[in-house]
Chains A and B, each alone.
Chain A
Amino acid sequence: MAEAGRARILVVDDAGLVRLYYRQALEAVGFAVEEALNGVEALEKLLRAPADLVIVDVNMPLMDGITFLRALRRQPLPLAALPALVTSTEAGAGDVAAARAAGANLYLVKPLEPAALVLHARLLCGVPA
């Protein structure tokens, strides 16, 4: 559960190491972090408790990141307007274009540097540094 006043970020990635890494980097600067392993779990979590930002990978089992974004943008407001940072491994033109079309706000190539992760998370959540 997010503490009052703390911006809450949902990290969606099937790699446990990635989720743990983001969690540590983001919690260190004061974000509250939740995790999901695929798009279906991300939707379940977001419907239970709102977030300020979702960071989502493309390749995931059962529901990939692109399909998740489309489902997210079909939800009722305010959920549909949740900022989404998409991460993927290759700057493959296919994934970037698909992520943009599906409603990504920002696309970053993995592996992320913690400083870049925190910077973009702050910008997308509207949290001052």
Chain B
Amino acid sequence: MTDEDFRRLCDFLYRRSGMVFTEAKRYFVERRLAERMRVTGATSFASYFARLRSDQPGEVEPFINAFTVNETYFFREEHQLQCLSTDLLPARLMERPAGRPLRIWSVPCSTGEEPYSIAIWLLEHWPQVDAYEIEIVGSDIDTRALEAARAGLFGRRALMRLPEALIGKYFEPVDDEHWRLIADLRQSIHFSTVNLVDLAQTRAHGRFDVIFCRNVLIYFDEASRRMAAENLYENLLPGGFICLGHSESMSRISPLFEVRRFADAIIYQRPGERGDG
């Protein structure tokens, strides 16, 4: 790959996803590009790049995939969980009418690590957890992933970021390599099927105080991203928050949300209703 090809590719990635790769990351980019060219049988950068630009046949998703971590695990992006308990929930409590539960949506939740992490985090780190009703919903399009989520059986890799003490407290060992989440916790999360780009399906889930929508929109094409973001906007209460994944930026998705900076994370917010709402 020439210098100019490298720039062309980085410009494309930047325009499409917001991810920035500098000269220092050249080796990283080249390795992934070489792998994709090998898999697709492309014989030159120009022919691969043409395929990528036209996204035929669906080359953007595997390409972006090569630059991101697709595997989900407990306490992934812990700083956002920290932000949830320190800033987001306290902000929501100020707006919440008495008696309404706080609702949190993990979508997509894949095999459940994310919604269970939210539950464990709040039990451990949010002193007010006993004072309010909290509903956590986990949804995904993949019904097999949801089955695994409900079963709550996890391997070593999924637990690598969890402190030993928490594994002891919330899991029961099944064998040397597997742990099952305690029944109380498994039963506290409601799992459901949803396609993020289907308005009727997202709508049926009601409105939430906080939505975690991490590591999925980056793979969608522009139209689907906008559609999903607008669906999620309607799933948020006015003033509600949405968290994206680490490599994702709302600047490539939708202008509907306000950008908010908290101590631990950049979070997006549905604006409060102005008078007429």
Direct contact of A and B (CB under 8 A): yes
Which residues of A pack against B, CB within 8 Å? 16, 36-41, 43-44, 47-48, 62-63, 67, 71
Q: How far is the CB of B146 from chain A (nearest CB, A)?
A: 32
Min CB distance, B239 to chain A, in Å?
Answer: 16
The CA-CA distance from A44 to B18 in the complex, in Å, is: 11
Q: A62 to B251, alpha carbons, bound, how many Å?
A: 7
Query: Chain B binding site: helix, strand, loop or mixed by DSSP?
Result: mixed
Q: Closest CB of chain B to A51's CB: distance in Å?
A: 14
At the interface, yes or no: B64 with Cβ under 8 Å from chain A? no
Q: Which of B15, B260, B261 contacts A37 (CB 8 A)?
A: B15
Residues of B within 8 A of A47 (CB): 259-261, 266
Within 8 A of A (CB), among B232-277: 249-252, 254-255, 258-261, 266
Q: Which 8 A-B pairs have the closest CB atoms?
A: A41-B251, A40-B251, A47-B261, A43-B259, A62-B255, A63-B255, A16-B11, A44-B259
Query: Could you tell me if A41 and B249 are in contact, using CB atoms closer than 8 angstroms?
Result: yes
Interface size on B, residues (CB 8 A): 15
Chain B 98-150 interface residues, beta-carbon cutoff 8 Å to A: none
Main secondary structure of the interface of A (DSSP, over half): helix
14 contacts between A and B (CB under 8 A): A16-B15, A36-B251, A37-B14, A37-B18, A38-B251, A40-B255, A40-B259, A41-B252, A44-B250, A44-B251, A44-B259, A63-B251, A67-B255, A71-B258
Residues of A within 8 A of B250 (CB): 40, 44
Q: Which residues of B contact A71 (CB under 8 A)?
A: 258
What is the minimal beta-carbon distance from B218 to any residue of chain A, in angstroms?
14
Contacts of B249 in A (CB 8 A): 40-41, 44
Say whether A37 contacts B251, CB under 8 Å: yes
Set B18, B254, B261: member contacting A41, Cβ < 8 A: B18
Most-contacted residue by chain B among A38, A62, A71 (CB, 10 A):
A62
Q: Smallest distance from the beta carbon of B142 to chain A beta carbons, Å?
A: 29
A42 to B72, CA, bound (A): 29
Chain B neighbourhood of A39, CB < 8 A: 255
Residue ID in chain B nearest A43 by CB atoms: B259
Interface centre among B15, B250, B251 (most CB of A within 10 A): B251
* Whole-angstrom CA separation of A16 from B15 in the bound complex: 9
Docked pose: A71 CA to B255 CA in angstroms: 12
Shortest distance in angstroms between A63's beta carbon and chain B's nearest beta carbon? Answer: 5
